[in-house]
Structures are given as C-alpha cells and as structure tokens.
C-alpha cells in the first residue's frame, strides 16, 4: 500500500471514528434520560459517558510508521490502523505491544445477527445481562434463562426499538465460537500464537486433570449485544491477546493500552481510569487486535455481533504468569473467573520450556524459576478456592 493510500486510510478512519464517538455519547445520554434509578443502565452508562467525554479519537499510526519504530512504553499506547497485508508484516516482526485495527478485506466472510440467533435456538439456555434490572438487588451477575426466552426478549426489544421506543439493552455472554475459521488470516498458523490451543495432553495420566475446558473454549467466542450495552473497564484474564472481528453493527472499544501491572494496580487502588483513553471504532468487517493486559470498556452503538479469539504467545509466558499472579492478588482486575484449566495448561507448557523444547520461542531462561514459583502460587490459590 502506498504512502498516500495509508494516509487516506488513516484520515478516513479518524473522520468516521469521530462520528461514532459522538453518536455513542448521544445514544448513551438518551438512555440515561429514561432509565430508572438503580438500573444497570443508570449506574454503568453514567460512568461510561463520563469516560467518553474525557477522551478524543487518536490519529493512528500507519504500518509503515510503526515498523520503523522500536518497541517502547510510549509505542504501546498508540493505535495502528492498517490493511490485512500490512498486519501480516507487523506480526512477521513479532507480537505487537500496541493495538492494531485491520480494515476489511475482500476475503472475509460475515455471519448475521439473524443467522446467529437461529443457531442459539438450539441451545438449552443462555446467560443474559439485562440492563433494566435493579443493580442493588440483582448485582451485575448474568441470569441464565431458556434460549427461546432470551431470543424472544432480544427480538422483541429490537422491534420496539425500530418503532422508536426506548429499551433497556441486553448482553449475551459465554457464547462459544461456532464460526468456521475464526482466527484472522494474518494471524493463522503462527506456531508461537497457537501454544494455548496446542497445550493439551491427548494420552496418558494427567496429574492436574480437570473436567473444565474453559481456556480451550475461550480460544473462539462471540459477543452479542443490543444498542446501549456497555461494559465497565476490565482486563481479559491470563494475559491473552484478544482479536475482535465485527460481523454486524457498530462498536466503540474504549481502551487504555500499555498500563502495565503498576498502572492497573493504580487504577484499582484509586477507582479512576487514567487520562488518555483511546476510543477505537470497530466498523463492520474490521478486526481489532488487543494486546495482553489492556484495560478496556466496550460500548455497543447499535445492535452488534462480534467474533473473537484469544491467544497466548509463547515468548510472553513470563508475563502470563506475572499478570495471573496479579489477578490472584486482586481478582476484580478482570471480569472473568480464574480459569479452572490454567494449572493444567501452564504445567504442560512449563515442562516443555524446562526441557528445552525447540517447538516454541521462549522467554529468557532467567525467568523460568519465577514462572515455576508463580505456578505453585496458582495451585495453592485453586485449592483454596475449592475449599470455599
């Protein structure tokens, strides 16, 4: 892609992103006008609007610009917007420390909300967040309801919204991946990014065998939410790279990349997100790659379906363990429970590293002992949680 083309791409992104940043604030303010006291809309949307009003759309870097720079703390706070071909060049250089937004390519296939709802009808139940519920009584815990009831609720609120009525949003959780080939093409078949997926023992006795497959299931997932659904700032657990592909609708992804453990701990201690949040507009057909440990808060500007994947990179195993230790010390950093499969996965992976396997790129050997120590801390934590 030529320099002019890349500049045009960045310029167009900024123009459209500013439009949807303003639209998101408008949609959420309107919801606050009709929402009742103590509903999740009133509580959560109030906070998100305050955050959105304090941030502005950032002019992204191009792939050419970022490929000339060395990794640094300041670079980790920059957004890159690029084509699929340029994304491949970025990942060829190594796992990026900065968020990357990849524009739509002609090879990508979409699934629709209607198609997806048809698939969900085959499930027995769904976990649903209803933003009209009283948060003082119900908290922020999803309610498990029969799939048919959840889908009817989603469709009826869609119809009410089309007729101009104000509705409370819905957010569906724990939607395991059903789309074929969910991994972005530029990320596919990169061995170091497949270590989470491949770290399983097919045969023999496992010392830490678990019936749970929660980490395996998280490698591919879907997000379905109606207009106005928001999520308060949080971090995806266990230091994963997260990819998000927008199938249908409009999403604003407010993020604070590059904080590190110290920055996340400051956020938790003060209860305040740092200045300089980046609202990232994810258009239909666009893919966001979110670096591990990124504080973020998604905002649904219109009914939206997304397909996501999660990955570990083998060279970042030390940080995977360090951030997991931080989650043990403060579980509220993430919105997800400690994975029941984490011990099994990391035991297998650390054994490979310890015996000098050449299959993956490892962190410096000087970090191995610390990783083994954190694994033992994790085992004790899991045993403690089982006893409660």
Mean pLDDT per 10-residue segment, the chain (388 residues): 74 96 97 94 96 95 90 84 96 96 87 96 94 89 94 94 89 90 94 89 41 73 96 94 97 97 95 92 98 97 97 97 95 86 94 96 98 95 80
Closest CA to 308 of 173, 213, 114: 173
* C-alpha to C-alpha distances, 353 to 95, 310, 368, nearest whole angstrom: 19, 21, 8
pLDDT at 303: 97
Query: 170 forms bridges with which residues in the sheet?
Result: 130
CATH architecture of 3-386: Sandwich (2.60)
Q: Where are the domains of the chain?
A: 3-386
Q: How far apart are CA 289 and CA 301, in angstroms?
A: 20
3, with CB counted inside 10 A (0-12, 13-18, 19+), is exposed
126 within 8 A of 150, measured Cβ to Cβ: yes
pLDDT at 67: 92
pLDDT at 172: 94
Closest CA to 299 of 57, 105, 45, 17: 45
pLDDT at 105: 78
CB atoms closer than 10 angstroms to residue 351:
11
Helix (H) or strand (E) holding 143: strand 143-146
| Residues contacting residue 284 through CB under 8 Å, at least 6 positions apart | 104, 110, 246, 247, 248, 249, 250
pLDDT at 2: 55
pLDDT at 4: 62
pLDDT at 319: 97
pLDDT at 203: 34
Which three-class secondary structure string do you get for 41-80? HHHHHHHHHHHHHCCCCCCCECHHHHHCCCCCCCHHHCCE
pLDDT at 209: 43
**181: alpha, beta or left? (left if phi > 0; alpha if psi -120 to 50):** left
């Amino acid at each position: 892609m030529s320099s002019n083309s890349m500049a045009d791409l960045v310029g167009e992104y900024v123009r459209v992103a500013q439009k949807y940043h303003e639209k998101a604030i408008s949609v959420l303010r309107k919801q606050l006008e009709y929402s009742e006291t103590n509903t999740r809309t009133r509580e959560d949307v109030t906070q998100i609007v305050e955050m959105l009003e304090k941030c502005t759309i950032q002019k992204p870097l191009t792939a050419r610009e970022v490929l000339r720079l060395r990794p640094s703390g300041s670079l980790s706070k920059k957004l890159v917007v690029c084509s699929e071909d340029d994304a491949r060049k970025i990942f060829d250089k190594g796992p990026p420390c900065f968020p990357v937004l990849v524009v739509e390519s002609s090879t990508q296939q979409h699934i629709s909300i209607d198609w997806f709802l048809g698939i969900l009808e085959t499930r027995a139940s769904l976990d649903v967040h209803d933003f009209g519920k009283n948060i003082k009584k119900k908290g922020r815990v999803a309610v498990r309801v029969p799939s048919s009831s959840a889908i009817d609720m989603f469709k009826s609120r869609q119809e009410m919204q089309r007729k101009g009525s104000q509705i409370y949003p819905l957010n569906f959780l724990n939607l395991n991946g059903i789309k074929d080939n969910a991994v972005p093409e530029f990320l596919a078949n990169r061995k170091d990014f497949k270590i989470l997926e491949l770290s399983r023992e097919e045969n023999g006795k496992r010392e830490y065998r678990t019936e749970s497959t929660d980490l395996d299931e998280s490698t591919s997932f879907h997000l379905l939410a109606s207009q106005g659904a928001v999520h308060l700032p949080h971090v995806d657990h266990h230091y994963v790279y997260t990819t998000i592909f927008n199938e249908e609708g409009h999403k604003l992804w407010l993020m604070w990349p590059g904080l590190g453990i110290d920055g996340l701990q400051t956020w938790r201690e003060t209860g305040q997100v740092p200045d300089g949040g980046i609202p990232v507009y994810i258009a239909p057909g666009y893919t966001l790659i979110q670096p591990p440990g990124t504080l973020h808060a998604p905002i649904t500007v219109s009914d939206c379906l997304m397909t996501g994947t999660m990955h570990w990179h083998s060279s970042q195993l030390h940080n995977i363990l360090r951030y997991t230790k931080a989650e043990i010390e403060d579980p509220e950093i993430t919105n997800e429970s400690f994975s029941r499969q984490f011990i099994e996965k990391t035991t297998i992976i650390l054994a490979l590293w310890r015996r000098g396997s050449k299959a993956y790129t490892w962190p410096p050997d000087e970090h191995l002992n610390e990783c083994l120590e954190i694994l033992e801390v994790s085992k004790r934590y899991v045993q403690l949680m089982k006893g409660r």
